[in-house]
């Protein structure tokens, strides 16, 4: 074996090590690039869901104001069966139920968004969505109970209970409107969760 043989072996080993180092460096750089890309995609998804939720939050008041409007016309209860008096008594409550049905697409959007919102903003945000679900349920149940009682001409004898049902159905008492408070709290909670990241995004693009 010549004197140069160890050096030949050393250079081969060195080149191999350099190759490993370069490969590792490229892989590490690629991993960091992937991680940055992943974070950016997650942030984009948060902003996308935040914008969608904000729109739903602001839309809620208009939806419920339309549903709970005390004014109604006979056309809204034309599908209601019964004699003239039954239809006249129960019709206004039937109209509320028809308005809920007419706006079912909005509530479907809320249900579809909720799990996606929880996935990016945390499970605790389920409580926020419960406000809108509770508001809808209260209006629907109250309108149904009042409609059936009116249809049979058997009004509730407990005036306080009847007024509570009517307060859920109609937004006639702004100062003591529990449904209105739920809607307002829903909007504020969505805004508190989403506005900071939307504002940060807008500043970044400014």
pLDDT beyond 60 at 202: no
> Which range, of 50-54, 112-116, 192-196, averages the lowest pLDDT?
192-196
Distance CA 130, CA 170 (A): 20
Percent of the chain surpassing pLDDT 90: 60
pLDDT of res. 90: 95
pTM of the model: 0.77
Let me know the angle formed at the C-alpha of 134 by 132 and 136, rounded to the nearest 5 degrees. 70
Percent of the chain surpassing pLDDT 70: 74
pLDDT in tens, 64-119: 999 999 998 999 999 999 999 999 999 999 999 999 999 999 999 999 999 999 99
pLDDT in tens, 14-41: 566 666 666 655 555 554 564 665 566 6
What region does 140 belong to: left with phi over 0, alpha with psi -120 to 50, or beta? Answer: alpha
């Amino acid at each position: 074996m010549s004197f140069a043989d160890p050096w030949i072996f050393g250079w081969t080993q060195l080149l191999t090590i350099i190759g490993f180092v370069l490969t590792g460096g490229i892989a590490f750089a690629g991993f960091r690039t992937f991680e940055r890309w992943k974070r950016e995609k997650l942030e984009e998804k948060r902003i996308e869901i935040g914008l969608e939720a904000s729109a739903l939050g602001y839309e809620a008041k208009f939806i419920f104001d339309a549903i709970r409007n005390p004014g109604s016309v006979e056309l809204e209860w034309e599908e209601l069966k019964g004699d003239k008096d039954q239809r006249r008594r129960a019709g206004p409550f039937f109209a509320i139920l028809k308005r809920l049905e007419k706006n079912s697409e909005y509530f479907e959007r809320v249900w579809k968004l909720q799990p996606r919102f929880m996935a990016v903003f945390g499970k605790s945000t389920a409580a926020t969505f419960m406000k809108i679900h509770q508001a809808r349920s209260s209006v629907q149940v109250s309108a149904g109970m009042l409609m059936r009682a009116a249809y049979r001409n058997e009004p509730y004898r407990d005036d306080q209970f009847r007024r509570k049902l009517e307060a859920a159905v109609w937004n006639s008492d702004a100062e003591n409107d529990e449904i209105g408070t739920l809607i307002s709290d829903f909007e504020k909670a969505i805004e508190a969760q989403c506005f900071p990241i939307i504002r940060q995004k807008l500043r970044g693009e400014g």
